[in-house]
Structures are given as structure tokens and as C-alpha cells.
Amino acid sequence: MAPKTKRAKKPGIWDGLYGEIQVKRVQPYEALKAYVCPGCNRDIPEKMGHYVCVPVEATDLRRHWHYACWDRRTVVTS
Ligand SMILES: [Zn+2]
């Protein structure tokens, strides 16, 4: 299914395109709404702890991530 495109690695918003990412931990009791995690495109249901990740130069692009998705994203595999 995947199209045969070369994976040109260009910086995305989570790789510093809009500066450093501020990561804040949202506790379950603070999670009052459901969000969609950009790492896996699945819901983060309300009352689930997760991260809020905010590019410092584009704070309106803040997104909510599952803990696991964000942690996996930041691990550089070689
Ligand atoms: Zn996720």
C-alpha cells in the first residue's frame, strides 16, 4: 500500500522546525477532553494522562501525545 517515495528527511514541527518543544505532563485528573495523538492518530480518551507538546515558536501548534508515542518518537534508532 505504501507509495514508493524516497524518505526525504526534512525537519518536522517535532524535530525543531519551530524551535524547542516544551513537553508538559498532563495528569489523568487534568485530562478533561479527548484528543487525537499525532503519533498514532488514535484517541487519547479523557482522564488518561498524556503529554502536551508545544513548539516554543509556534505555540498554536500544540498537540497532545500519548506518553508512549512521544517517548518512542524521541528515541533515535540507528
Ligand atoms: Zn499515540
Indicate if the pLDDT at residue 77 is higher than 60.
no
pLDDT level of residue 10 (50, 70, 90 thresholds)? confident
pTM passes above 0.85: no
User: What are the residues whose beta carbon lies below 5 Å from ligand 1 (ion)?
Assistant: 37, 39-40, 66, 69
CA–centroid distance, 51 to ligand 1, in Å, is 10
Provide DSSP, the chain: ------------GGGTTTSPEEEEEEPGGG--S-EE-TTTS-EE-TT--EEEEEETT-GGG-EEE-HHHHHHHHPPP-
CA–centroid distance, 54 to ligand 1, in Å, is 16
